[in-house]
Amino acid sequence: MDLFNNLIFGFGVAFSLQNLLYCAIGVTVGTLIGVLPGIGPLATIAMLLPLTFNVPPVAALIMLAGIYYGAQYGGSTTAILVNLPGETSAVVTCIDGHQMARQGRAGPALAIAAIGSFVAGTFGTLLIAIAGPPLAEVALKFGAPEYFALMLMGLVAAAVLSTGDMAKSLAMVAMGLLLGIVGTDVNTGVQRFSFGVAELSDGIGFIVIAVGVFAIGEIVINLGNPEERRFFTDKIGRLMPSAEDLKKSLAPILRGTALGSFFGVLPGTGPAIASFSSYMLEKKVAKDPSRFGHGAIEGVAGPESANNADAQCKFIPMLTLGLPASGVMALMLGALTIQGIQPGPEVMTTRPELFWGLIASMWIGNALLVILNLPMIGLWVKLLKVPYRLLFPAIMAFSAVGIYSVNNSSFDIYLTALFGIVGFIWLKLGCNPAPMLLGYVLGPMMEEHLRRAMLMSKGDPSVFVTRPLALAFVLATVAILVIMVLPAVKARREVIQG
């Protein structure tokens, strides 16, 4: 059995001392930043990415992935204890999780969140292992037109499904594509948009943009919203949920996992949408919906499973097609590229240790997270008391060293400062920068595929509708756009994001 052998191979890779260590570091950092409000996985991964350059690609990816899903666990801790979502994915967890804490049932709420996340994480990991190889198999047959159409579909879907105004998100994708082509054109050697600046001939550094916009810009925004004092509970109470709690949570965990996996594969839908949908579903199927909002354990179990399943399944398109479904996945793709690995379906056959090692490490990481989050919860709670005024200068310090270390260049630092201001303006104008990052990462590849497709077809654009797979992607793109402007869907979308 192939799957079985591959998984054993993966666990062999993941269980090496170095990889275990990086996995542990990743999930610890992830929990940490998940607990701390005001810094998310996107900014952290961007900030720490330069430090992984000297590490083998498998270890680097294992650590970065750990930060990402670790943050989902940590985010729920603050949501339950302080009514403050550490991550956006934990917003709905606040509703019933925090009520449980107020009723002295913080322990079971935290435990169910961790158990649900673990079940979802396990399922997500299995799904990647099962769905990955056949998907990559199909993708290997793609030519340039298919790739271009697929990327177009991915970007459009990511833009329209992400939070914020649809037109702005689509425009931000184009903005990212434009930023991505700064530098030397690979086909002709022409310098584009580098204005004679030697440092720009290799393009704008990927980490410069990510840190500038998502760390610095975000801090400036946060400084505009002073900290609020919140109800704080130190009393966690009995940790283990009762048999009745477990019985009540089983179905919501499974439903949440299924929902989260579904949303996970779709580009653009963040874990927040998965957890929100799960909450609505649990409320709908509950015998007594009035309990929701007053500490219903189902309202914690479902969404927490959903957001973790979503986070795991986001890896499927990234690993098999080289298509980033979210800002974090765009960073992972960037990390691969910097390591000299061309992302795409070939990765699975040329670097099997990377694919299977990463998958196995995710399962190990999820197990570590349960240990990290349940018995050691007291430690994380103490961290909550660290005020933001001490936190953000530390973020600045790590960001600066990280960026400087990429090229030992002060120019990159200046450019980061500039993108900090640009990112602030974007956020202020309600232009979500996450779609920009996707466009930026895919920009050069998309242009290349478009050029090749046009060469193949001798300049005839009908190549995108005469090849069946390309046509399917084009039609899907059009369908996504049409559905999203239908009045009913539009209104519903505004309610969800309201």
Partner 1 sequence: MQKLEFRDNKDFWSGVMLVIVGAASVIVARNYAFGTSLRMGPGYFPTVLGSVLVLFGLYLMVAGLRRGEKIDPDWSLRGLILLPTSLVLFGILMSYTGFIPAMMVLVFGSAAAGTDFRPVEALILAIGLTVFTAVIFIWGIGLPYPLLMNW
How many alpha carbons fall within 13 Å on the CB side of residue 82?
22
**Contact between 394 and partner 1 per CB under 8 A:** yes
**Contact between 346 and partner 1 per CB under 8 A:** no
Residue 169, C-beta contacts closer than 8 angstroms, at least 6 positions apart: 158, 159, 160, 162, 431, 432, 435
Query: What backbone phi and psi angles, to 5 degrees, belong to 198?
Result: -60, -40
* Closest distance to partner 1 from the beta carbon of 192 (Å): 6
The distance of Cα 147 from the centroid of its chain, to the nearest Å, equals 22
Let me know: does 91 contact 275? Beta carbons within 8 Å: yes
Let me know: does 244 contact 297? Beta carbons within 8 Å: no
- Alpha-carbon distance 445 to 358, whole Å? 24
Task: Find the binder of partner 1 among 42, 84, 431, 480 (CB under 8 A).
Answer: 431
Residue 184 class from Cβ within 10 Å (0-12 exposed, 13-18 middle, 19+ buried)?
middle
Stretch that binds partner 1, among 111-119, 214-222, 231-239, 469-477 (CB under 8 A): 214-222
**Contact between 216 and partner 1 per CB under 8 A:** yes
Q: Name which of 164 and 352 has its Cβ closer to partner 1.
A: 164
Q: Name which of 429 and 488 has its Cβ closer to partner 1.
A: 429
* Closest distance to partner 1 from the beta carbon of 91 (Å): 19
**Contact between 175 and partner 1 per CB under 8 A:** yes
Q: Name which of 100 and 216 has its Cβ closer to partner 1.
A: 216
Task: Find the binder of partner 1 among 196, 459, 468, 487 (CB under 8 A).
Answer: 459
How many alpha carbons fall within 13 Å on the CB side of residue 73?
36
* Closest distance to partner 1 from the beta carbon of 405 (Å): 5
Between residue 34 and residue 53, which ones bind partner 1 under the rule CB under 8 A? 51
Stretch that binds partner 1, among 74-82, 216-224, 269-277, 297-305 (CB under 8 A): 216-224
Instruction: Find tokens 């430690």 and name the residue.
Output: 379
First-to-last alpha carbon distance for the chain, in angstroms, is 48
Paired tokens of 468 = 């069946």
Binding site for partner 1 (CB under 8 A): 51, 54, 165, 167-168, 170-171, 174-175, 177-178, 181, 185, 187-188, 190, 192-193, 216, 219-221, 223-226, 387-390, 392-394, 396-398, 400-401, 404-405, 408, 410-411, 413-414, 416-418, 420-421, 424-425, 428-431, 447, 450-451, 454-455, 458-459, 461
